[in-house]
Amino acid sequence: MKINWFKYSSPQVFYPLAGKLIPWFAWLAAILALVGLYVSFMLAPTDFQQGEAYRIIFVHVPAAWMSMVIYIVMAAWAALGLALNARLSAMMAQALAPTGAIFTLLALVTGSLWGKPMWGAWWVWDARLTSELILLFLYLGFIALQSSIDDPRRADRAGALLALVGVVNVPIIYFSVKWWNTLHQGSSINMGAAPKMAATMLLGMLLMALAFWMYTVAVALMRVRCIMLERERNTDWVKELSLKTLSSQSIAGAK
């Protein structure tokens, strides 16, 4: 059976699909987070150098990963919307930006909490920390730029250009440890070599990363549904949906 995936590019078709997917991703996020936290804080061994303080990496590292991945995905959606003038693509980019900003802030805060006992300072102008801070400003700039322009089409184009320009910062964050002499330690996971950590530590980190990813999808779908209703409020399908919602609420109230 052949599925016409292009039909889901229509907000009218994608809206109910997103509503069906949200609970699945939300439950997966909750389950993975509970299991990941248990493995990370109960089963993972104590680090022989950093002691128990190292456990913050099970939140810090996945949050840092997600901050970069979400930006790349957001920029890809924005570019697709800019190139094809696709409404849903621009809406998805807008929906992802706040979650990306939250994970970037979480990475910076947990990094500071980790850095204080390790480096003796809450903040240092390390290349990776500075480029991660710039990433937060890019997210906030994208959100502010889109909010400041009343015309959604113009806002989408301006936001897409900013997102695409900002993509150059992502490889700078990733390779900053190799390119410059920084305090930040190198990656513990390398696709070309064996992991530099115990298997239990690696499992906990991957579970938390998957939990953050499922959370991102669930929240982005919830947010994009709200954006659809706001942007498409004058269309027939939104008016029909509103009438159905009011009718169901009236029936429920009568019972």
| Segments making up each domain of the chain, as ranges | 23-45+53-254
pLDDT digits (tens, 9 = 90+) for 81-94: 888 888 889 999 99
pLDDT digits (tens, 9 = 90+) for 131-157: 899 999 999 999 999 999 988 889 999
pLDDT at 200 (0 to 100): 84
pTM above 0.95?
no
How far is the C-alpha of 120 from the C-alpha of 143, rounded, in Å? 34
- Report CA 232 to chain centroid distance, whole Å: 25
Q: What is the DSSP string of 119-156?
A: HSSS----HHHHHHHHHHHHHHHHHHHHHH-SSHHHHH
pLDDT at 50 (0 to 100): 67
pLDDT at 40 (0 to 100): 86
How far is the C-alpha of 255 from the C-alpha of 249, rounded, in Å? 10
232 to 11, 62, 155: CA distances (angstroms): 8, 35, 16
Q: Kindly give the parts of the chain with pLDDT less than 50.
A: 1-2, 191-194
pLDDT at 98 (0 to 100): 96
pLDDT at 52 (0 to 100): 67
